[in-house]
Chains A and B, each alone.
Chain A
């Protein structure tokens, strides 16, 4: 049963409205009649889930901002005020705080889905790059949000991360002073971070719209990575994916709300409940978990030739992210899906393990075995993208691709 492909309203008002501003036609095309490959699995739900998490952060954030005071003397207390006095303030804040973590969990799964099924390859390079832009904006937003409660971790995370820019030759210190609006992280810094933390999520929303627009030109990739041959390979977004995505949403919400209600501080640091003190650094400072692999890369790099360790670490860290923009041209294999690439598949899982190891290394002091693990992990990360993937696309014998999506789906049904 296909619902009608085109939007044909019966209601007179809706008809009149849509004729003058066809926004409903656009939404119908995107959320109802959007034709998707028949064989999408649950990993394809994480895009919708990411959109949901963005909406959660924006709604809870706007409410928090109604009770929060961006001033060094009041910020910490205003967050405590939200937690203790404001009706349901504790709930809204815990949803926002843990929402950031769950947003990253969802987006990391979404990214690794793309890495496995080759969704970054033509004709979806721009789609992939828009996704990376969203990811960069998310990191900036989450970092600045973390500074707002003005606890010890807030203050020292802000100090260490902004100081990364002092590694830039010649103008480094001027850049840092510019970022701070002073000679240390202080009230001007907190104010501008609040302003940017408020606005960047709306920029993310705008880029997400471009991301979805770019998706709807070629349509979704699929677990087989082969082209859609015709309508027999497709189903409509509604009701099939709306139902599937709602199911995944309930799974996400069970876990997310489980953490919010039963372990709301599990993912954060106790030190952030100590008010910021510019004269005392806590003994261990680590960023939030979603930055740990990059933090490990930052600290893994020693002096390289004439580049001192501090600058080399910063370059490596940014390179690790920017590298992903070149991925469509590093992996030239014409086969998209890892399912048909026996070697790629193994290296893919090695990469997953590598990133997890980097995450653990980033959480530990940079010394001894964990420093070495971080260094090995860093080297493997770059080797994977710069050596292994280009090489594989030349030498790998891929498995034969199925004739079509519907044929593959039907043969699976027959054998089951």
Chain B
């Protein structure tokens, strides 16, 4: 046995049954190890219960024009503002060239419900909650929201106008179930 084994290695270049066995065993070994590594990593991703909590319904009937509320969706704040006519006008009048992340106000609202602005209340810079929803909070230079963490200013359409944030405040997927109820998610 031992002589035939060593001679098989000396036959340089020629493929032997033993080489095949090495590769097959090594390959299956790597596959098995790999299939065990994936569960060790994937368990850190959101669990089923976290994924299941993915939508909420919000009643809008108590919100007056000019008021905002804070809803909670997937553990995150959602800003809902019932905008005044001036705020809507201001948002629609901005030329796209002035915007860092160009988007029209129409793209950020539902047709027929332009009054309502629904956004994830998380600064697109590093995730703080901007001020401007509660009465008396700093609304920044553009009358929308202001993030105190590193100074990002958002306009009345939630678009980034000044500061380090790269993108507009995110619009979550939502739908009007009737005129005064929305489902987020």
> A283 to nearest B CB, angstroms?
5
B30-72 vs A, CB cutoff 8 Å, 1 = contact: the mask equals 0000000000000011110010000000000000000000101
* Interface residues in B, total, Cβ within 8 A: 27
B143 interface residue (CB < 8 Å to A): no
Q: Which of A162, A178, A182, A310 contacts B75 (CB 8 A)?
A: A182
> B75 to nearest A CB, angstroms?
4
B70 with A178: CB separation less than 8 A: no
B128 with A299: CB separation less than 8 A: no
Contacts of A180 in B (CB 8 A): 46
Q: Which of A183, A285, A310 contacts B46 (CB 8 A)?
A: A183
The B interface, classified by DSSP as helix, strand, loop or mixed, is loop
Contacts of B166 in A (CB 8 A): 308-310
> B52 to nearest A CB, angstroms?
12
Q: Tell me which residues from 106 to 151 in chain B have a Cβ below 8 Å from any Cβ of chain A.
A: 121, 125-131, 147-151
B61-92 vs A, CB cutoff 8 Å, 1 = contact: the mask equals 00000000010101111000000000000000
A159 interface residue (CB < 8 Å to B): yes
Q: In the bound complex, what is the Cα–Cα distance between A120 and B47 (angstroms)?
A: 45
A284 with B148: CB separation less than 8 A: yes
Q: Which of A166, A181, A280, A282 contacts B44 (CB 8 A)?
A: A181
CB nearest to B149 among chain A residues: A285
B164 interface residue (CB < 8 Å to A): yes
Contacts of A283 in B (CB 8 A): 148
Q: In the bound complex, what is the Cα–Cα distance between A379 and B126 (angstroms)?
A: 23
> A154 to nearest B CB, angstroms?
14
> A406 to nearest B CB, angstroms?
56
Q: In the bound complex, what is the Cα–Cα distance between A171 and B74 (angstroms)?
A: 20
A366 with B76: CB separation less than 8 A: no
Q: In the bound complex, what is the Cα–Cα distance between A177 and B74 (angstroms)?
A: 12
A182 with B50: CB separation less than 8 A: yes
Q: In the bound complex, what is the Cα–Cα distance between A62 and B148 (angstroms)?
A: 37
A178 with B126: CB separation less than 8 A: no
Q: Which of B44, B74, B126, B165 contacts A183 (CB 8 A)?
A: B74
Q: In the bound complex, what is the Cα–Cα distance between A367 and B153 (angstroms)?
A: 14
Which A residues fall within an 8 A CB radius of B?
156, 159-160, 162-164, 166, 177-186, 188, 192, 278-285, 299, 308-310, 313, 365-367
Which B residues fall within an 8 A CB radius of A?
44-47, 50, 70, 72, 74-77, 121, 125-131, 147-151, 164-166
Q: A163-B125, A285-B128 are in contact. List 11 more A-B contacts (CB 8 A).
A: A159-B127, A160-B149, A179-B44, A181-B44, A182-B74, A183-B50, A183-B74, A188-B46, A192-B44, A278-B72, A278-B129
